[in-house]
A and B are shown apart, each in its own frame.
Chain A
Amino acid sequence: MGVAAALGACSLGQQTPTLGVYSGRHYNTDQLLYRRFTEQTGIRIKLLEGTDNSLIERVRSEGSTTPADVLVLVDAARLEKATQLGLFQPLRSAALDRDVPANLRDSQGRWFALTRRVRLIVANPQRVDVGAIRTYEDLARPALKGQLCLRDNKSVYNQSLVADRLIQKGHAATTTWLRGLIANVNQPFFTSDIPMARAVAKGDCGVALVNSYYVARLLSGQSGAADRALASALKVILPDPSHVNVSGAGITRASRHPEAAARLLEFLASPSGGKGYAEANNEYPLKGYGDNPILRRFGPFRDDGVPIQELGAHNREAVQLMQANGWN
């Protein structure tokens, strides 16, 4: 049965291969995008969505028998983790080199970013002087004592932010910054972004660190009219420079259809495909700021230019530093 199925897949593979995609993104609109890809290329997609870490473990334990051709992951550290575990194979593609900026892809072509998100600051003007907050460093100033709300250290976006600081400022300066940050925290660490953004809007917190798409989602009314009204009280601050994180994808080492998989990556990274991916979750495209009116209202930001690949490489050190300084 298994052999027959495999033979069938091989003989069909010449004309219309079916790609297995494991994805850490969970948006119904992603499926519309895959359908568009199938219409354009005849290549069909089988989809399995899950949490990033569970998908990494699944590909790892499935080994050479994995049915996944493409692994889509959210966050730099997870992409780098999958790379270090040898789950991706390198790919050379002129189209991808053209569409994906060099700091947003692996130097050996093992993964490519598809969308961008910014770790931004939301503040309540009633509680803090928003004019005095321009950078991540400002959050550690004593003036914000008892005002700051943070997600716990399991938030991979916080881990990547600390890794970003480590790369830019070094170990000693990052430790000092972390101590200042934790000294300003006003209540137990949150486990999710939206309750935290609500707490800022209601004045229970003065300031918090959240991902750009959560704020955009609240402001778009996707979380309901009450949240939209609440979020309009928030002051959105894009730090200068801003820490940028990505969602991205690579071709699995055991892929049986690497050529078809490469076409999918090229499609998703292209301005038209990438637009769909970014729009699904109020994210920024790989270049520019996109057409999303809410994101445009946030204004432009200056990417701090840290190569995404390096964020993953510093993840473990970042988590250890967070734990050592009371960011639980």
Chain B
Amino acid sequence: MTIHDLLPPAGARALAPPRRGLLLALVLLVCLAALLPVLGLGLFAGLGPNRHGLQLGEGGLSALLHTLALVLLVGGAGAVLGTTNGWLTARCAFPGRRWLRIAQLLPLATPAYLLAATLIDLGSRLSWRVHGFTWAALVLTLSTYSYVFLLSTETFAVSGRRQLEACRSLGVGPWGSFARVALPMAMPAIGAGIALSGMEVVNELGAVELLGVPTLSSTILKRWQNDGDPEGAVGLALAALVIVSLLVAAERLLRRRSRRWTMGSDADGSAPWSLSGWRCWGAQLLTLLPPLASLGLPLLWAGLSLDQLQADAALDLASLGVRSLSLALFAAGLTLAAGLLLAMSRRWLPQPLLHKLSFVAGMGYAIPGAVMALALLLLGGPLQISPLLLLLWGYADRFLAVPKQGLDAALERIPPSIDEAATGLGCGWLAALRRVHLPLLRGPLLVGGLLVFVDVVKELPLTFALRPFDFDTLSVRVYQYASDERVGAALLPALLILLLGLGAALALIPTLERGPTRPAAGPESGQG
């Protein structure tokens, strides 16, 4: 990056103050849109005829304990698996490493409810009972560890190479270097990944219902829709909100402790550690098994169920696919823009109150999709908002944390001195964003956008509750057929979800291969 890249065009200096006002206005708008459903729910819970507030009620404690245990177990297992595989495929050399590195993205393509449904179906053919907490932990670990992998491996690939070279020259082995240098440097990213996986666990509905584990989200839905007690459901949703707040707070604390500024890759071309013997096949096994299970099992199930394939189910497959695709693209764009605004406001608008507000705005992830849907229906009715807009609003609110976590973590690695230099040279926030931050954040932006895309393609409760007439999506159709226990009819839409997810996962490959936080290569990319 040269000084010329940072120089603003004539007149930018004069425009800087009003544009920051624009940033403030936009950030406030995002916060308002994100918080409105939560506030509506709070009012609903506090003012409704059966007022509950934050209370667990019957079955609530068991649901809370099950959820906490799942979060801890899945978070722990996902952290170990994601970090280990992130390190092995980024900094070690063994046969098949390149393909196995790409394979770590495959689990993103498989929705947890599909994995659970296929395991139950396959199990019942073999007289195995796939049921209960252990299976739920396994399914959720398989479907969420990729978050930790994605965020940590990027750091392993590009950060601290010089320190690692120093370790190596002092005779420290791969695991020693990993534990003493790489792991502490990757902590913010690992923490962000664990927080994301924890939120996924708190929110998971289909898989835990199928496996018979009473978690907060399934109990909330039961209380709202089966017991006809929406106020009680919201009371329990507030408990879920507390768990997620704790997760996010823990992640921030972790990140603050290990704050280190770095400018992306320090040096290229350093040789990875070569693994041989049992280390080699151990690494291969560890990186092969999880993706093989999460993609291979649904494919095996599809292969065994081919004789149930129904031609009439294929007829509207294209329109289902187009709807899922377009919803996911729109939602990803919207969520990314909102997440970027919030992340930038932390750097450019130094009001502590605003930081707290934008922190709370990312809490939408904590609200179970079904409860968010209730809130949006309550808002959308009087405001006459079309169901499709409500749906996009819901997606953006639910998944705001996904790009925000990654962007926050990435911004932590960009030294504030760069912003100071940009400001000193007269860049407004918009110019600095365009010329400095966007090129540096291209990787996290792509990762965030694709994660939202995959999340929306797989998303169920919001889509189920808010879609308009004749607007079924792939996930809706799979869930409907699967809940009617009609495997044959669910087969093609399920395969198409896998295909879309795979497409998105494969689009992440260049990010993995290049190392995303590398500074812009030249002035051209700065203009982009």
Contacts and interface: CB of A to CB of B under 8 A. Distances in A.
Interface string B207-226: 00111100000000010111
Contact of B225 (A20, A57, A194, A319): A57
B487 interface: yes
B268 interface: no
B305 to A, nearest CB: 6
B120 A192 contact: yes
Interface stretch (B327-335, B408-416, B460-468): B460-468
Q: Is the interface of B mostly helix, strand, loop or mixed?
A: helix
A224 B468 contact: no
A204 interface: yes
B469 A198 contact: no
A318 to B, nearest CB: 12
Contact of A154 (B120, B226, B381, B467): B226
A187 interface: yes
Measured as residues with beta carbon below 8 angstroms from the partner, the interface class of chain B is: 35 or more
A19 B71 CA distance: 45
A67 B381 contact: no
Contacts of B487: 223-224
B488 A26 contact: no
Given A28-B312, A195-B120, A48 B468 contact: yes
A20 B387 CA distance: 14
Given A51-B483, A223-B488, A152 B129 contact: no
B470 A187 contact: no
A49 B488 contact: no
A263 B343 CA distance: 56
Interface string A307-326: 00000000000010000000
B421 interface: no
Nearest to B316: A28
Interface string B462-485: 001101111110000000110111
Contact of A195 (B124, B209, B224): B124
Given A154-B226, A214-B485, A223-B488, A48 B381 contact: no
Contacts of A65: 381, 384
Interface string B485-528: 11111000000000000000000000000000000000000000
- Most B CB contacts (10 A, CB to CB) among A51, A61, A152 go to A61
B484 A57 contact: no
A210 to B, nearest CB: 10
Interface string B100-116: 00000000000000000
Contacts of B124: 194-195, 198-199
A57 B307 contact: no
Contact of A62 (B212, B370, B381): B381
Interface string A53-72: 11011100111010100000
A9 to B, nearest CB: 13
Contacts of B313: 28
B381 A224 contact: no
B27 to A, nearest CB: 30
A312 B91 CA distance: 62
A8 interface: no
B378 interface: yes
A191 B469 contact: no
A47 B308 contact: no
A198 B194 CA distance: 38
Given A54-B225, A199-B127, A191 B212 contact: yes
B127 A202 contact: yes
A43 B483 CA distance: 30
Interface in A18-65: 20, 26, 28, 46-51, 53-54, 56-58, 61-63, 65
B225 A192 contact: no
Contacts of A202: 127
Contacts of B471: 48
Contacts of B465: 50, 54, 57-58
Interface string A213-234: 0100100001111100000000
B125 A61 contact: no
A61 B378 contact: yes
Which of B123, B210, B315, B472 has most A Cβ within 10 Å? B472
Interface string B356-374: 0000000000000010001
B469 A47 contact: yes
Contacts of A187: 129
B252 interface: no
A47 B127 CA distance: 39
A49 B477 CA distance: 9
B470 A191 contact: no
A2 interface: yes
Nearest to A56: B225
Nearest to B131: A188
B121 interface: yes
A182 to B, nearest CB: 16
Given A26-B480, A28-B312, A198-B125, A222 B488 contact: yes
B377 interface: yes
B95 interface: no
Given A195-B121, A224-B308, A62 B127 contact: no
Contacts of B424: none
Contacts of B486: 217, 222-223
Interface in B211-251: 211-212, 222, 224-226, 228, 230
Given A67-B469, A188-B129, A61 B381 contact: yes
27 contacts: A2-B384, A20-B469, A28-B310, A46-B469, A51-B464, A51-B480, A51-B483, A54-B465, A57-B224, A57-B230, A61-B374, A62-B377, A85-B228, A152-B212, A154-B222, A187-B129, A188-B129, A191-B210, A192-B485, A198-B124, A199-B124, A199-B127, A199-B129, A214-B485, A222-B308, A224-B308, A224-B487
Interface of A: 2, 20, 26, 28, 46-51, 53-54, 56-58, 61-63, 65, 67, 81, 85, 152, 154, 187-195, 198-199, 202, 204, 214, 217, 222-226, 319
Q: Which 10 A-B pairs have the closest CB atoms?
A: A53-B225, A195-B124, A46-B469, A61-B377, A26-B480, A194-B485, A198-B124, A224-B308, A224-B307, A48-B469
Given A191-B210, A195-B124, 9 more contacts: A48-B470, A54-B225, A56-B225, A198-B125, A199-B129, A204-B129, A217-B486, A224-B305, A224-B307
